[in-house]
Amino acid sequence: MKAAIFVGPEQPLAIEDVTPNPPGPRDVVVRVAASGVCHSDLSIVHGYVPLPPPCVLGHEGAGTVESVGADVRKVQPGDRVIASFVPACGQCWYCMHEKTNLCENMFAASMTPRVTLADGRIASCMTGLGTFAEAMTIDETSVVKVDTDLPDEQLALIGCGVTTGVGAALNTARVEPGSSVAVIGCGGVGNAVIQGARIAGAARIFAVDPVEMKRKTAEQLGATDLVDPADGDPIAQVQALTGGRGTDYAFEVIGLPETIVQAYNTARRGGTVVVVGMPRMDAQVTLPGWQLFSDEKRLLGCVYGSAQVQRDFPRFIGLVETGRLDLGTMVSRRIALDEVNDAFRAMEAGEVIRSVIV
């Protein structure tokens, strides 16, 4: 089968024919129907997170179960599934404490050898998935069965960006009705945060992004105020519109130290700051010590939207089916697997919210 392989930092993904390794008794083989191209995939290509090559990239995908190992109980052939990029083993301390997004098996899943390349080398798959392929062999703890008629491309987005963004608003921050929210970075994940804030009933949603198309999309998806950093310091722009206080919530959805500090300074005293973006692994963030104490802000990390995937994937599907969550607008381009490198280019050029491989 064809797969897009990470072969080393700053090199284009190699589109190769690979042979899936034999599945184990707890493995599920999923025919990939759609896979979103997320900024985290690009961060791997840039070497921001050290991942040993060769590795099949892609962690945002949905498809249909093709076959299951002898011990698999959760799904059967023909089931529609969304892949979860953090497994939910159900047995570790975090899973036992309703924190499956922090499941201790994540590292082991991402290190499992899954395919053999034409030259005999063995490759693992990003986060244990590897959605940039025609099929993937994944542990049953990484699949969530879904019962819906929604298009594959929309289900794929629930696998990462939508769950991360909507979950950041609903689960991590628990945005309150009538509140004010700033979202810094309005790509695929940021626009999902905006939708989550709208669903939670936020009164004002400030969308901060230098790219006009991103701001326009943000407006379509629920932002009430659009902030272009080119018009001046975004913190001052938001403060001017919030009585000088800043917002009740500020989300950073890029992954840069400077915008994390910006989000911190955009939230009002006593407000909530959520770091949704994935910084490079060696990044450091410097915050003002006095304000950290005296402004009493809540600074929250956010992994996978604090989502409990077995609960939240069906929950988000329900929101899409009833028209409250718009995923159609978030799919900018449908592409073939061998166009994935161009999708990275389009992402960096600010041309798309999401490209989806179908």
Stretch that binds Zn ion, among 33-41, 115-123, 172-180, 273-281 (CB under 5 A): 33-41
One residue of 4, 38, 275, 307 binding Zn ion per CB under 5 A: 38
Which residues of the shown chain bind ligand APR in the complex (CB under 6 A)?
38-40, 43, 161, 164, 184-190, 208-211, 214, 229, 253-255, 259, 276-278, 347, 350
Minimum Å gap between C-beta 279 and ligand APR is 7
CA dist., res. 241 & res. 204, Å (int): 10
One residue of 81, 157, 160, 260 binding Zn ion per CB under 5 A: 160
Minimum Å gap between C-beta 118 and ligand APR is 30
Minimum Å gap between C-beta 157 and Zn ion is 10
255 binds, among Zn ion, ligand APR, none (CB under 5 to 8 A by kind): ligand APR
69 binds, among Zn ion, ligand APR, none (CB under 5 to 8 A by kind): none
115 binds Zn ion, rule: CB under 5 A: no
Q: 162 or 238, CB closer to Zn ion?
A: 162
Q: 86 or 317, CB closer to Zn ion?
A: 86
357 binds Zn ion, rule: CB under 5 A: no
Stretch that binds Zn ion, among 68-76, 109-117, 159-167, 262-270 (CB under 5 A): 159-167
169 binds Zn ion, rule: CB under 5 A: no
With contact defined as beta carbons under 8 Å apart, do 72 and 25 qualify? yes
53 binds, among ligand APR, Zn ion, none (CB under 5 to 8 A by kind): none
246 binds, among ligand APR, Zn ion, none (CB under 5 to 8 A by kind): none
Q: 133 or 347, CB closer to ligand APR?
A: 347
- Which residues make up the interface to Zn ion (CB under 5 A)? 38, 40, 160
